[in-house]
Chain A
Amino acid sequence: MIQVLADGVVAASFIVLGVVGLSMIYNILNFPSFAQGDHIATGAYIALGIVALAGTAGSIAGLSFGWPLIGALICATILNGLLALLIDRSIYRQLRLRNASRISLIMASFGVALMLRNLIVLLAGHDPQYYAFAIQPALSIGGARITPNDLLAVIVTTMMVVALHLFLSRTTLGKSMRAVSENPSLARVNGIDVDRVIRWTWLIGAGLAAIAGVLLGLSVQVNPSMGFELLLPMFAAMIVGGVTSVYGAVLGALLIGVAEAITVHYIAPEYRQAVAFLVVILVLLARPQGILGEKA
Chain B
Amino acid sequence: MDILSYLVFFSAVSGIYAIATLGLNLQWGFTGIMNVGVVGFFGVGAYATAFLTGPAYPDAFGGFGLPPLVGYLGAMIASGLAALVVGLLTIRLRHDFLAIGTFGAAICIQLLAMNLKPITRGFDGLHSLPRPFAGLAATPVAANAYFLAMVVAIIAAVVWALERMVRSPWGRVLRAIREDEEASAALGKNAFAFRLQTFVMGSMLMGLAGALYASFTGFVSPQDLLPILTFQVYVMLIVGGSGNNYGAVLGAVLIWALWTMTETFLGAVLPAGLKQQVSALRVVLVGLILVLMLLYRPQGLLPERANVSREARLQG
Asked if A and B touch directly (CB within 8 angstroms), the answer is yes
Give A residues with C-beta under 8 Å from B: 26, 31-32, 34, 91, 94-95, 98-104, 106-108, 110-112, 114-115, 117-119, 121-122, 125-126, 228, 232, 235-236, 239, 268, 270-271, 273-274, 276-277, 280-281, 284-285
Q: Which residue of A lies closest to B237 (CB)?
A: A107
Other contacts beyond A103-B34, A117-B283, A235-B104: 18, CB < 8 A: A31-B96, A32-B96, A91-B295, A98-B295, A99-B314, A100-B314, A103-B95, A104-B294, A107-B238, A114-B287, A115-B287, A118-B281, A119-B280, A270-B115, A273-B107, A273-B111, A274-B107, A277-B101
Q: How far is the CA of A108 from the CA of B96 in the complex (A)?
A: 14
User: Given the interface contacts A110-B234, A277-B108, A285-B89, does A101 sit within 8 Å of B313 by beta carbon?
Assistant: yes
Interface SS of B by simple majority: helix
B95 lies within 8 A of A271 (CB): no
- The 7 A-B residue pairs whose C-beta atoms are closest, nearest first, are A277-B104, A121-B280, A115-B287, A118-B280, A111-B287, A118-B283, A111-B290
* B231 CB–A CB distance under 8 Å: yes
Cβ-neighbour of B100 out of A114, A119, A235, A270 (below 8 A): A235
Cβ-neighbour of A115 out of B89, B101, B284 (below 8 A): B284
Interface SS of A by simple majority: helix
A276 lies within 8 A of B104 (CB): yes
Cβ-neighbour of B294 out of A107, A117, A273 (below 8 A): A107
B115 lies within 8 A of A271 (CB): yes
Cβ-neighbour of A111 out of B93, B99, B291 (below 8 A): B291
* B97 CB–A CB distance under 8 Å: yes
* B183 CB–A CB distance under 8 Å: no
Chain A residues in 8 Å Cβ range of B280: 118-119, 121-122
A126 lies within 8 A of B294 (CB): no
Distance in Å: Cβ of B94 to nearest Cβ of chain A: 9
B115 lies within 8 A of A110 (CB): no
Chain B residues in 8 Å Cβ range of A125: 276
User: Given the interface contacts A111-B231, A114-B231, does A106 sit within 8 Å of B34 by beta carbon?
Assistant: yes
Contact with A along B272-316 (1 / 0, CB 8 A): 000011001101101110110011001000000000000001110
* B144 CB–A CB distance under 8 Å: no
Cβ-neighbour of B111 out of A26, A111, A270 (below 8 A): A270
Q: Which residue of B lies closest to A288 (CB)?
A: B93
B276 lies within 8 A of A126 (CB): yes
Chain A residues in 8 Å Cβ range of B107: 232, 273-274, 277
Chain B residues in 8 Å Cβ range of A114: 228, 231, 283-284, 286-287
Chain B residues in 8 Å Cβ range of A32: 96, 99-100
Distance in Å: Cβ of B101 to nearest Cβ of chain A: 7
* B219 CB–A CB distance under 8 Å: no
Distance in Å: Cβ of B290 to nearest Cβ of chain A: 4
* B103 CB–A CB distance under 8 Å: yes
Chain B residues in 8 Å Cβ range of A104: 294, 298
Cβ-neighbour of A118 out of B34, B99, B115, B284 (below 8 A): B284
